[in-house]
Amino acid sequence: MGKIFIDTSALFALINYVDEDNLSARDAWKNLLRHSRELLTNNYMIVECLSLVQRRLGLEFVRKLQAEILPLIEVDWLNEEQHTLAVQHLLKSNRRNLTLVDCTAFQTMRRLGIETVFTFDSHFREEGFNTIP
């Protein structure tokens, strides 16, 4: 198995101890680290995740995420062309609950040949990706 894309939903469940998916997220995370998988996300996911964690859990959890989890994940930085492709995907999909950040993830994964994502978001499965857990 190659690189694994890391989604906001997984990071949020991992750091939020009262999230219904926390135990599943922690088990999956430990398994990913134990098997030395290459973990990757993009900068839009980081912005979304830090904003969500700050808003729902507070800066203490942002610090924990920044210090303990994010250093283990490679970040792919989107450029203008990749942003444009994600916006086009969003508009073409014509789905209200699909976000631009999700579309950037799909574009990043396809561009880099990543087939598997650590997520609790069903949109990835709908797009044809393998999901963990």
Tokens representing 87?
Answer: 């916006």
* pTM of this prediction exceeds 0.75: yes
Exposed / middle / buried, residue 128 (Cβ in 10 Å: 0-12, 13-18, 19+):
exposed
* pLDDT score of 2: 87
* pLDDT score of 1: 59
Cα–Cα dist 3/63, whole Å:
25
Q: How many domains does the chain have?
A: 1
Q: Give the tens place of pLDDT for each residue, 24-38.
A: 999 999 999 999 779
Q: Give the tens place of pLDDT for each residue, 44-64.
A: 999 999 999 999 999 999 999
First to last CA, the chain: 15
pLDDT averaged over consecutive 10-residue blocks of the chain (133 residues)?
Answer: 93 97 97 91 98 98 97 97 97 92 98 97 97 96
Residue-range definition of the domain harbouring residue 112: 4-132
CATH number at residue 14: 3.40.50.1010
Exposed / middle / buried, residue 87 (Cβ in 10 Å: 0-12, 13-18, 19+):
middle
